[in-house]
Structure formats: C-alpha cells, structure tokens
Structure 1
Amino acid sequence: MELTFIGMIQVVIGILVVFFGSVRSALIFLLVSALFEGSAAIVLPSLGGSSIPPVQFALFFTTLRILAPKGGYVALLPSAIADNKWYVLFAIYGMATAYLGPRMFGGAINVFPMQPDPSLGPFGTVPLSPTPQNLTAGLYLFGAFMLAITSYIFCRVPNAPAALVKALVLISWLHILTGLADILTRGTGMESLLSVFRNSNYSALDNSIAGFVRIRGVLPEASSYAGLGFALFVANAEMWYRSINPRATGLLASMLALILFFSTASTAYVALAAFGIFFLMRAILFPNAAPSGKLFRAAFLGFGILVALCILLAIIPRLPFAVYELIMDMTVGKPASDSGQQRLFWAMQGWHAFLSSYGLGVGPGSFRSSSIITAIMGSMGLIGLITFGLHLKQVFEGSKRSAWGAGYTFEQSLAGALGTAAVFSLVPAAISSPHAVPSALFSIMASAAIALRCLSASQSATPDRQANEAPRGRISPHQLRGRHA
C-alpha cells in the first residue's frame, strides 16, 4: 500500500476536519474529493495496480467525524440505514456477489476483464474467474454505501442544507476552472501540473478529435469530465429552477452547459439532449410547478446562448463545418466506429452474464461493461436491478410537487433538485460506465435528497397535502426552517 501525495494532503485536511472541523467543512472536503475521479489517494500494487480514490479516502475521515464524541451524530445512524434501505441492500448484495459470483459461475462464460492483458485485443475474452478487481469492486460498493450514510447524517444536521448548496457551488466552479486550465495549458510546459493528478491506473484516451481539443480537466478522459460536469450542471439548473441561490446557480448552469457542449464527449451530447427533453416536457405538463418567470427566463437564456453561438460561427467561417463534423462523429457515427463497436461488445457481456448466472449475477468486477445498467444486470442480477430501481424511485419521489418544481420549504425544494440531479447523473453512466458502482456524486446527492425530505417533515407540522404546494416567491438558502406560502 502506497500513500500518494494526494493522500498525504488528505491526511492533513482529514485530521483537521475530525478534530476541529464543522459539518460544512466535512461536506466541502467530501465533495471536493469527489472531483478527482481519475486520481489515487492510495495505490495497491498487490491488487493488480488497483487504487483507492480520494473520495473514498476522505470518507474515512468524515466517518470518524460522525463517530467523534463531540459530534453527537451516531444517533442518526439507524435512521440513515433505514431510510436508505434499498441502497444498503443493493450494496450488501453486490459485496456478497463480488466474492461468491465468480466462484459459483467460474468458467461458465468468457468475459472481457476489468484490467485486460494488452495481448487480448479489443474483443478478446478470458474464462470467468475470481480476480483482484472483484475485491476492489466490493470495496467501492462499501464506499458508495458509506457515502450515502454519511451524506444523510450530515444533511440532517441544522444549517447543513445551506452549507451543501455552497459546497456544490464551490465544486462547480472548481470543475469549470480545471477544465479551462486544461485547455489553456495544453501543449505547454504547464500541462504537467494537471497531469500529476491523473495518477490512478486509468488509460488516457485521445486528447483531440476533428481538430478540437478534448476537455479533461484533472480527469483521464473527456467522457469522465463530461459525466461529472453533467451531474453538476443538472444540480445547478434544478436549484436555479427552484430559486435556490439563483444568481450563482443560474450562471454556473449556463457555463457548465457551454463547457459540456465543447467537451467533444458523446456522453455529454446524449445527456444534454435527455435533460432538454425532460425540461421541455416538465414545462408542458407542470407549468405551474416553477416559480413565476422561470420558464420565460429559461427560454430567453437558451435563445441568448443560441445567438452567441451563431455569432461565433459567423466570425470563424470554418467553425460551422468543424462543429457539424464533430457532432456527427460523436453521435450518429459513433456506433459504426471501432470504439462504438467495442462498447456494444462490452455492454452485451452484461446480458450474457445475466443469463449464464440464472439472474443472480457473476459479481461486480468480474467483467468490463460500457453501461451501468448492463453492468448491474450481469454483476448483480435481478436483485441488483430491483433494489437499485426502488432506490431511484425513493430518491426522485415523483408523487411530490417538489420533484417537479419548488417545494413548500427550502429543504423540500433542495431535495427535489438533488433528487433530479442524482437520477440524471446516471445518464452518462448508462452509456459509458464500465462497472456497476454508481458515482460518488450520485451517492451523495441521492442520499441528501432523502435526508432533506425527512428533515423537512420533522420540522413542519403542515399536512402532506399542503406540504406539496409550491411557494410563489424566491427561496433563499438561509431560510432553513421553511416558510409558509
């Protein structure tokens, strides 16, 4: 086990958080660590070069903060487990099958492993058998489960909801700035400053396509940067839609949308299209769910971005053709490409593993997929699909008004925004994730949404029927106790 320089920095910050930090500092520490998905805090050479990412390492210190005698948060642990029961069952079953699956069904099928031998080629396979990646996947699932519990407990603490909004705004700015720094330093001596953060065992893919520089930030590839940026984009867009710190969240949503457009990642284009359809359908079906004037401002903003793009395209004559070629290559032409064929081959492994294991799953880490859906299907079978689906239903809470617009209290509105963001953060994972473990941001935002609804219910004596009515004014993050319409 080797502690990297990132891990050393986290040890210092983590100790400060445990002994002197507040809930706000713990939330910021956890969320900032989640930005470094392509980094390693600890390298494990004995497990085939596997690593522990910064967010999982930060989780160790935030868990200690919960257990610290001065915190007084341990009493919330039973309710955190109970309210996240479907996610807990999902993680526990995944950890169990990570050990049992490849042993029960070893040799039954051939799979493309998570860490293949270069001699295999793009479509080579090996017989299913236990590997160090099964242990790593089990640890990641345990980390996802603990991230959800930690997020829930922190969000049940007074003043934590406002701190969570500020932390999300902060990491959104950091994500944008690392992307811009990546573009500005590409090809210069300063490029190595960002590359030191890509110290995990991930392959760095093409840095440019169709003449465009691919935006990676501190992550190994453009699709990873786009997937993380899309989750933050939806979180900010949904908070703006519900008038939560609207100036900051509206500006961030606009900037993230632009940087996603120029990220050259096909996952970004598909995800933006999916959210755009959802936004349009919501406006048609639930026009009164949004605070007054939001739909008009959203339409005006979209028109303004379109005009700005038209001006840019007019100034640079070659740009329209380059953009057209880029979008066609990364969307329509993607399935016919070598990478598209390889992704389809990886995705189909989940279906074959599902059938070969009689719906039980061959265990997380047993094979490489290209979609979290087929990865869960093949790794954790029917039980994994059902428990994860029930968790998503609980996170979104489509029967509540706050799922579609502003809620009756600040907590309800923020819960609706984060629940929507958590669900939509799975769109990039559904078309690009190699494994069955949801992202750290999903675990944090999904559990926060559940916790905030519980916090709102405990603070208000208003009947459920009235609690689902939306207010008609702006909601400030400082209104922690809720207000009546």
Structure 2
Amino acid sequence: MHFTFVGMIQLLIGSALLFQPLRSLLVFLLFSGLFGGSSAVTLTALGNSSIPPVQFALLFVFLRILMPRGGYFALLVEGVKANFLFVLFTLYGMAAAFAAPRIFAGQLNVAPMRFTNARSLFDTVPLEPTAQNLTAAVYLLGALLVALAGYVAMRTEGGIEALVKGSVVLAWVHAVTGLVAAFTKGTPVEAVFALFRNGTYAQLDQSYQGFNRIDGLFPEASGWAAFGIAWFIFNCECWYRSVWARHTGVAAVVLGGALFISTSGTAYVGIGCYLMFFLARLLIFPKGAEPVRLRQAVMAGLSVLFLIAVALAAIPSLALQVSDMILHMTVDKGSSSSGQQRLFWAMQGFSAFMVSGGLGIGPGSFRSSSLFTAILGTMGVIGVMTFAGYVISIIRPVGMMGARRGEAVAAVMTACATTACVVLVPAAISSPNSHPGTNFALFAGAALALRRMLPAIPVRPRFTLCVSRLAPPDALGGTGALAPATRGSS
C-alpha cells in the first residue's frame, strides 16, 4: 500500500479539518468526488487496486464523527436506524462478495470486472474469487458510509448551507474542468489532467468524428457525465424551489450546457429523463410550481432554441454533425458492437441469478452495464428487496413536493430525494457495479435526515436559503426557515 500525491494532499487537508465543524469535512468529501479518475491509495497486495479520493475522505469524516469529545456518535446511531435497509443491503453484499464466488466457483462463465487478455468482445472465464470481489465490498461499504455521513452532516449546524453552497461551486468546477480538458486536448495542458488520472482505470478514447468528448478528471466521458448529472439535477431542484435560486439556477444552466456537449450517452439519457420528470410534474402538480420559476424555465428554453437556430444558420453542416453524434451515442448504441457487448454484460445478471438460486454470485464477480441487473446477479433476492425498500423510503419525501414551499428544510429535502431517485436512471443503463454510487448515497442520506427535522422548524437562521413567494423580486432572502441544528454527543 502506498499513497499517491493526491492521497498525500488529502491527508494534509483532512488532518487540518479534523478539529473544524463537520460541515467543513462535508465540503471536503463533496469535492473529493470530483477526482473520479484519481487514486488516493494504491493497494499493491490486491493487484494495484485503487482507493478513490472520495472514499479516502470518508476516513477523516468518520474520525470527526467518532471523536471522544465534540463528536456526533448519537447522530450516527440515529443515521444507522434511518438507513437500516441500506445497512442490510451493504452487509449482505459484503458477505456475498466473500462467500458466493467460492460457493458457485466454476458453475458458470462470466465477463470479469478486469479482463486484460480478452479474445473477443464476448469472451468469458469461469467464475472464481478475485481481488475485484474485495474491491466491490469496499465500494459497497463506502457508499453506506457516505449515506451515513450525509445524514449526520444534515443534522448538524450549517450542514444544509454547506450542501447547497457546495453544490453550486462543485457544479461550476466540474463543468469548467470538463470543458478545459476537452478544448485543450493535444496541448501541454492535457498532461496536467493526465497527472490526476493516476488510478488503475482504463483510459478510453475520448473523441468522435472530431468532437472531443468531455471527461474532465475522470477516465471516461460516461463517468464524468454520471457524476455531473446528480449535481445538475440537485441545482435544478433547488432553483425550482427557490433555494438560493440565483446561484443554483446559473450553476444548473452552466453544468447542463456542459453535459449537453459532452457527447456522452449517459448525459443525454440523464437529461432526457429529468426533463420528462420535470414536465410530468408540471402536468400532475400544476399548482406546485411558482409562476416566476415557470416563466424563467420558458425563457431559458426559448433562449436555447434561439442559440441553436443562430448556430445552425452560421454553420449549416453543424446540424448534421450534431444529430449524427447524438444518434450514435444514444439510438445507434443498441445496434453497435459496443451496445451488443453492454447488452451481453447486462444479461449476465439474469444468468447469475438463476445459477445461484436467487442468492447472487457476489459483488465484483462480473461486469454488468446496468445497476439493477448487477444487483440481481450479484446479490439476488435479498439485494433486490432491501435496495427497493430503501428507494421507496427515499421516495416518500417526494410526495411533499407541493407542501411547505416556503421552508428551506422541506425544499432541500425534496431536492435531495428527487436527485437520489432520478440518478438511478442513468445508472440503470451504464453502471458496471452493484453499488449505487456515492452521489446516490449522499442525497439519500441527506433526504432522510432532513425529513426527520421537519416536525420541528421554529428558529432564526443566520441567513435564509429559501426565497418566499411574498418577497419582492429583488430580495436575496425571504421568510423560509431552517430547522434547528442538532448536535450529537458521544
């Protein structure tokens, strides 16, 4: 085991923040997720497997939570209870990762997570325990810890502000780094980004017919897009509910624009699904939206159409190039060799489910291309039921869309719950793993924490994130209130 330079920087920053309020470490955790292609620690004993920065940052978050004095152990216990189904999901997945590959070894052939000498796109090997099973167990545990960290942070002073303000800055950084990386390919700047992509991940070709695909600090465009989709949705939802609307709205537009030109099928599916959800919500709950937000949404849509028309008039061939690129990354995927390979990977989940008698063959045993078939094949009936129950527990706050619009806690809670649920859609067509990801876990834990805070709201916050409908148009604040901060003790 050895630290990379990214890990050493994190070690210094994390150590300096240990005696600061938990909100500081929450921001540290959020921004560690930007380095999706980096390795903080390399485990040489496990085939040079990488511990990503976001999971390494969890070490400092939980050291702060578990401090003997001034920690938040009581809130951690509360978080375990609130996220109990996710706890069961994780524990079963970790147990299956160690036991299942040994129980069902040799009973079926699979496409492994790491394949260095594949003879074809559909090559397989007999099932056997590998280092990837341990890596998958670590990722599952990391997702659970992120959910618990998000829960505890939201229940402490300044947690809501840290999440909302941090999301705005993070959206800008993610968009800007992605655009800079795309437009500087072939220049010395590319070497700077390559320096941060020091994880043991496959670095894929990031261009298509002259379009430089946006990958930023991630090893591939789909990973960059999958991370960005979550923060795009969260900023959109905060803007929709007038939570720091001027900043969250601009951040959503900037990140959404970067996602649109990313040439990633994951980005197009994510944006498309969110737009359908947005429109369906307007039709089902027409009174739940504030008129000013609807006007702004219409103006933004018309502005986008105008810019597209100007671009097509200036460059007539652009329409054909862009449409060809989008079709290639979405509709044509199914008939391409890549699409057929992804379908083959996804179908492995059904085969593994049947061979294992519904128990699953263990996380990390095969590569999938869908979160749901990965859970089905690796964790079987228990994994499907516990994860589905957990998602249902998160969806419950979404039913409060039209309620308490003037309260920041309810607004941020619903934004977190909506984000956690919608980000599962791109994961359903692109995730190779059975863990739902750190973004899902963070927003899920935060939504459950904020829901618990709703019964008691009467406080005077230092400032208000939520803008009241009764406030004048130029007001920066309003009458929304934040729930009282809660502090745990060991």
TM-score (norm 2): 0.93
Q: Tell me which amino acid in the other structure corresponds to 1:144.
A: A
Identity %: 46
Q: Tell me which amino acid in the other structure corresponds to 1:433.
A: S
SS at match of 1:51: strand
* Deviation of 1:457 (Å): 2.4
The answer to whether the Cα contact below 8 Å between 2:468 and 2:479 also exists between their aligned partners in 1 is: no
Structure 1 residue 17 corresponds to structure 2 residue 17? yes
Hey, what's the Cα distance between the residues in 1 that align with 2:340 and 2:97?
A: 27
| Corresponding residue for residue 6 of structure 1 | 6
Structure 1 residue 360 corresponds to structure 2 residue 354? no
CA displacement, residues 313-346 of structure 1 (integer Å, 9 cap, x when unaligned): 2112221110011112112211111111110110
Hey, what's the Cα distance between the residues in 2 that align with 1:372 and 1:187?
A: 34
Structure 1 residue 436 corresponds to structure 2 residue 437? no
CA displacement, residues 116-150 of structure 1 (integer Å, 9 cap, x when unaligned): 13244321111111111101111111111111111
Q: Tell me which amino acid in the other structure corresponds to 1:9.
A: I
Hey, what's the Cα distance between the residues in 2 that align with 1:322 and 1:270?
A: 19
The answer to whether the Cα contact below 8 Å between 2:201 and 2:219 also exists between their aligned partners in 1 is: yes
CA displacement, residues 87-137 of structure 1 (integer Å, 9 cap, x when unaligned): 111111111111111111111110000111324432111111111110111
The answer to whether the Cα contact below 8 Å between 1:161 and 1:480 also exists between their aligned partners in 2 is: no
| Corresponding residue for residue 265 of structure 2 | 266
| Corresponding residue for residue 101 of structure 2 | 102
| Gaps in structure 1 of 5+ consecutive residues | 462-469
Hey, what's the Cα distance between the residues in 2 that align with 1:7 and 1:478?
A: 43
- Cα distance 1:358–1:245, how it changes in 2: closer, same or farther (>3 A)? same
SS at match of 2:286: coil
Q: Tell me which amino acid in the other structure corresponds to 1:448.
A: A
Hey, what's the Cα distance between the residues in 2 that align with 1:261 and 1:405?
A: 32
- Cα distance 1:400–1:460, how it changes in 2: closer, same or farther (>3 A)? farther
* Superposition pairs of residues 112-127 of structure 1, within 5 angstroms: 112-127=111-126
* Deviation of 1:3 (Å): 0.5
* Deviation of 1:192 (Å): 0.5
| Corresponding residue for residue 395 of structure 1 | 394
State the Cα RMSD in Å. 1.9
Q: Tell me which amino acid in the other structure corresponds to 1:3.
A: F
From 418, 434, 448, the equivalent of 1:420 is 418
The answer to whether the Cα contact below 8 Å between 2:397 and 2:414 also exists between their aligned partners in 1 is: no
The answer to whether the Cα contact below 8 Å between 1:31 and 1:167 also exists between their aligned partners in 2 is: yes
SS at match of 1:370: coil
TM-score (norm 1): 0.94
Hey, what's the Cα distance between the residues in 2 that align with 1:427 and 1:325?
A: 24
Hey, what's the Cα distance between the residues in 2 that align with 1:40 and 1:218?
A: 11
* Deviation of 1:476 (Å): 5.0
SS at match of 1:288: helix
| Corresponding residue for residue 257 of structure 1 | 256
Q: Tell me which amino acid in the other structure corresponds to 2:8.
A: M
* Superposition pairs of residues 144-293 of structure 1, within 5 angstroms: 144-293=143-292
- Cα distance 1:291–1:47, how it changes in 2: closer, same or farther (>3 A)? same
| Gaps in structure 2 of 5+ consecutive residues | 460-466, 485-490
Q: Tell me which amino acid in the other structure corresponds to 1:300.
A: M
CA displacement, residues 64-109 of structure 1 (integer Å, 9 cap, x when unaligned): 0111234331111221000011111111111111111111111111
| Corresponding residue for residue 384 of structure 2 | 385
| Corresponding residue for residue 481 of structure 1 | 482
- Cα distance 1:397–1:186, how it changes in 2: closer, same or farther (>3 A)? same
* Deviation of 1:473 (Å): 4.7
Hey, what's the Cα distance between the residues in 1 that align with 2:57 and 2:301?
A: 38
The answer to whether the Cα contact below 8 Å between 1:408 and 1:482 also exists between their aligned partners in 2 is: no
| Corresponding residue for residue 466 of structure 1 | none
The answer to whether the Cα contact below 8 Å between 2:406 and 2:480 also exists between their aligned partners in 1 is: no
Q: Tell me which amino acid in the other structure corresponds to 1:428.
A: P
- Cα distance 1:369–1:399, how it changes in 2: closer, same or farther (>3 A)? closer
| Corresponding residue for residue 467 of structure 1 | none
* Deviation of 1:425 (Å): 1.4
**Farther-moved stretch of structure 1 (71-80 vs 371-380):** 71-80
* Deviation of 1:6 (Å): 0.3
In the alignment of these two chains, the number of paired residues is 473
Hey, what's the Cα distance between the residues in 2 that align with 1:280 and 1:288?
A: 13
* Deviation of 1:207 (Å): 1.6
Hey, what's the Cα distance between the residues in 1 that align with 2:216 and 2:399?
A: 37
- Cα distance 1:399–1:180, how it changes in 2: closer, same or farther (>3 A)? closer
Hey, what's the Cα distance between the residues in 1 that align with 2:468 and 2:358?
A: 46
* Deviation of 1:195 (Å): 0.9
- Cα distance 1:321–1:231, how it changes in 2: closer, same or farther (>3 A)? same
- Cα distance 1:331–1:64, how it changes in 2: closer, same or farther (>3 A)? same
**Farther-moved stretch of structure 1 (412-421 vs 283-292):** 283-292
* Deviation of 1:159 (Å): 2.2
SS at match of 1:43: strand
Structure 1 residue 56 corresponds to structure 2 residue 66? no
Q: Tell me which amino acid in the other structure corresponds to 1:323.
A: V
* Deviation of 1:458 (Å): 3.9
CA displacement, residues 267-324 of structure 1 (integer Å, 9 cap, x when unaligned): 1111111111111110011011122322222122111111112111211222111001
SS at match of 2:70: coil
SS at match of 1:420: helix
* Deviation of 1:184 (Å): 2.9
Structure 1 residue 323 corresponds to structure 2 residue 285? no
The answer to whether the Cα contact below 8 Å between 2:406 and 2:469 also exists between their aligned partners in 1 is: no
* Deviation of 1:199 (Å): 0.9
| Corresponding residue for residue 449 of structure 2 | 451
Q: Tell me which amino acid in the other structure corresponds to 2:54.
A: V
Q: Tell me which amino acid in the other structure corresponds to 1:324.
A: S
- Cα distance 1:478–1:202, how it changes in 2: closer, same or farther (>3 A)? farther
- Cα distance 1:398–1:153, how it changes in 2: closer, same or farther (>3 A)? closer
Hey, what's the Cα distance between the residues in 2 that align with 1:441 and 1:448?
A: 11
The answer to whether the Cα contact below 8 Å between 1:39 and 1:199 also exists between their aligned partners in 2 is: yes
CA displacement, residues 181-225 of structure 1 (integer Å, 9 cap, x when unaligned): 102321101110011111111112122112211011010111111
